[in-house]
Amino acid sequence: MIHICFIEPRFPTNQRQFIRALSEIGATVSAIGEGSKASLDDDLRRQLTHYEQVTNVCDEQQVLDAVRFIQRHADIDRLEATVEAHIMTTAHVREAAGIPGTSTRTAYLCRDKPAMKEVLRAGGVPCAESTAATTVAEVRAFIERVGYPVILKPRDGAGASGATRVDSDAELGAALRLLGNGRSIAVEEFITGHEGFFDTLTLRGQVVHEFATHYYPNVLEAMRTRWISPQFVTTNRIDQPGYDEVKAMAQKVVTLLGIETSATHMEWFAGAKGLKFSEIGCRPPGVRAWDLYNVANDMDLYREWAMFVAAGRPSQRPSRRLSTGIIALRPDCDGHIRGYDGLEQVREAFGAHLIDWHLPPVGSPTQGVEAGYMANAWVRMKHENYDTLRHMLDLVGRTLKVRAH
């Protein structure tokens, strides 16, 4: 029986789904995490054959010591991590412990944006202009060549995390101070156009399952503007010819970066300059996007991921039956939730198309706009027609209001 060792099974909450899926297909599952054994719920206690506690799952030596302790009792066939912050540590430990899986090179290239794009440009993948910079002079030299606006972000930041748009010399100094003196950062050309993401399950270097999702509006605007109720919507039209170019780009990126058997999450832009690659993570998407894919395609992606890593083969096919999406509902000010307007109208109008929702109780503290799509209230919906779903999500955003004080 194949033995999978999994990094941090408790948090975030959907980590339990990976353990559940591995257990269901008959794999032996051990785990390394930061909580005590007593913190494991009943399902995890039943599904795990062994658990090792460390104080920090990003500390390579601690994780390596835990892996070697487990290896003294049983061979480990795969060491798996699905959270961005754990990917690099896990790759180093794999190589030190002689366990197959995502290599250190691949993990590094999927995390360091300038290095990632250097490899991809050399391989013919269209990317925004970018560079790594540690000094103001280097940033200014890039701006002189490319022009404003530009995006400054941490080299290893995920998505829009830590990203700052700079439109002028006047804004540049403040933005650089935010990123920290002497820190190496990624500086990128700002591309106008439509933004989306493309997620895959990849087996031995080949994309087997793929899902296309669109942002409304683009992420940087969504995470900076309170009045917007941002959405992302996964399409069931992915097998139409309009997605051929992004599919081909995704496979080329997987090949060039050496991704073998893994989930991936790739961001892209499409505009006047054509389709442009933005970045990739060698992991599943965040914000519980797999939940939307599962509903849309009548499948269990956690179980399918488990089949890929434990059995080396697919077992399901996506139905493409539905489009699904989420709309984030921001409180009208920071403070504490005092109520909701329009809730009953939404339930009456769209009840059959609601997947689930989260409405923090009255009195709950709000979180900042930049905290993300699931930080405050949200609603997730489904429909057979992508355009109809988009219209319904827009109506929810205009109807359901979150009041705070």
- Residue 351 in any domain: the answer is yes
Are residues 163 and 236 both part of a single domain? no
Last residue of a domain, one of 148, 167, 189: 189
Are residues 235 and 161 both part of a single domain? no
Whose structure tokens read 């206690």? 45
pLDDT value, residue 158: 59
pLDDT in tens, 357-377: 999 999 999 999 989 999 999
Cα–Cα nearest to 165, from 157, 173, 175, 156: 175
- Beta bridge partner(s), residue 336: 365
For the record, the structure tokens of 298 come out as: 């009548």
Residues 6+ apart with CB under 8 A from 332: 226, 401, 402, 403, 404
pLDDT value, residue 245: 97
Q: Could you tell me the residue range of the domain that residue 21 belongs to?
A: 3-101
Q: What is the pTM of this model?
A: 0.91
- Domain holding 175: CATH number? 3.30.1490.20
Rg (CA), the chain: 22
Say how many domains are in the chain. 3
Residue numbers in the chain where pLDDT is lower than 50: none
CA distances from 387 to 213, 327, 382 (A): 13, 15, 11
Are residues 147 and 266 both part of a single domain? no
pLDDT value, residue 102: 96
pLDDT value, residue 132: 85
pLDDT value, residue 114: 85
Cβ atoms 230, 296 nearer than 8 A: no
pLDDT value, residue 157: 63
Are residues 365 and 399 both part of a single domain? yes
